[in-house]
Amino acid sequence: MVQRVGRVEFGVTWVLRNLDGLIAVGLGLTIGLMHVFGDVISDKVASGATLLVLGTLAVGSMTERLRRKSDIREASADTRRALEDLAMVRSLSGDEVGDALEQARAQTNRWYFKGGTGTYLRAVTLPRCVEAAIRQRAQLSIKIDIINPADEQTCAAYARFRQTFVRRRNDDAAHAWTADRTRKEAYATVLAACWFRQRLDTLEISVHLSSGVPTLRFDLSETCLIITQDDPNRVNLLVTRDQPLYDYYVTELHQSREQAVRLDLRGVASLGDEPTVDEVRAVFDDVDLPLPSVFSDADVAEIVEKALHAEDPYRR
């Protein structure tokens, strides 16, 4: 029954689309038969009818051309829309990464991050977003998912992963990734989150610690998702909010945080503008993430430096 209805609809559509041609053929056959078999009409009438048929065919031909042009324009528009959709997921390289992150921060009051230790987050994202929230007197929500500095195996594995790309770039030993450096970088991100939380009452910030080794970094704002890598030879991606991939990663990042350890940042010890060693140790005790006993005061001071004075890794 459904197939029969479909055939009927197709037939009606075909007739309406080709009505001018059918009229011309009908006129031609009618006049021709009347003239041949009945000698009912005169030669003048037959000639006039012939011109009418030819005129109808000409009109039909022009109409078909217009239809084809309309179809071509419609197909071109569809192609253009498809290309525009593809362009909304685009690659980034070099300075484009920093520019894209800056634009993502321009109009947002939420930021979700998932990555290794959050160096760029500490150096740029946190201070810039907090500055904007203070200036605009706006609420700000930040969710951070990094590796667990208390998990020595994870830190060692992440250091090996990062060191692979350091060797490819022939960086000097001072920038080598070790398990010790990885732990301090992750501790610094936790400290930075606590420090900024105490300086903005409207800041809702959470820190989640994972035991997995991430190979990608995810920065998600209200307008886009930016996926970056540690290997400078590989492509980075930008996904706009109106793309399905953006929504997929909102869910993915949420699930990742749900499987991680969330730190309770409420009620931690006060931190000065330049926190002392004792203040820092007290804060980590309060969040149930005590610093290793082997960390000297110099190690703690290094964590403070990384937390509040980190260098922008994209600055050249």
Find, among 181, 179, 178, 177, the residue nearest to 169 by Cα: 177
Q: Token match 């050249």: residue?
A: 316
Four-point Cα dihedral 196, 198, 202, 205, nearest 10: 60
pLDDT score for 186: 98
- Name the average pLDDT for the chain: 81
pLDDT score for 210: 97
Interval 173-192: pLDDT, tens? 557 899 999 999 999 999 99
pLDDT score for 71: 57
Q: Token match 């989640």: residue?
A: 208
Higher pLDDT, 230 or 276: 276
pLDDT score for 114: 98
Average pLDDT over residues 143-161: 97
Distances (CA, A) of 221 to 75, 163, 188, 217, 249: 34, 29, 22, 13, 12
Average pLDDT over residues 70-93: 61
- Going from the N-terminus, what domains does the chain have, and what CATH number goes with each? 2-87 (no CATH), 92-308 (3.30.870)
Distances (CA, A) of 110 to 70, 139, 166, 265: 45, 9, 32, 18
pLDDT score for 200: 94
Specify the pTM.
0.72
Interval 39-69: pLDDT, tens? 555 555 555 555 555 555 555 555 555 565 5
Least confident stretch, 114-128, 136-150, 231-245 = 231-245
Res. 193: pLDDT tops 60: yes
Distances (CA, A) of 8 to 1, 21, 22, 23, 161: 11, 20, 18, 20, 65
pLDDT score for 220: 97
pLDDT score for 56: 54
Average pLDDT over residues 275-280: 97
Res. 239: pLDDT tops 60: yes
Higher pLDDT, 228 or 63: 228
Q: Name the band, by pLDDT with cuts 50, 70 and 90, for residue 83.
A: very low
Q: Name the band, by pLDDT with cuts 50, 70 and 90, for residue 5.
A: very low
Average pLDDT over residues 93-108: 90
Q: Is 257 exposed, middle or buried (0-12, 13-18, 19+ CB in 10 A)?
A: buried
* Other Cβ atoms within 10 Å of 228 Cβ, number: 22
Sheet strands side by side (includes 140-147): 89-92, 236-240, 224-228, 217-220, 110-114, 140-147, 203-210, 261-262
Q: Is 193 exposed, middle or buried (0-12, 13-18, 19+ CB in 10 A)?
A: buried
Average pLDDT over residues 280-300: 97
Higher pLDDT, 311 or 265: 265
Interval 163-172: pLDDT, tens? 887 655 555 5
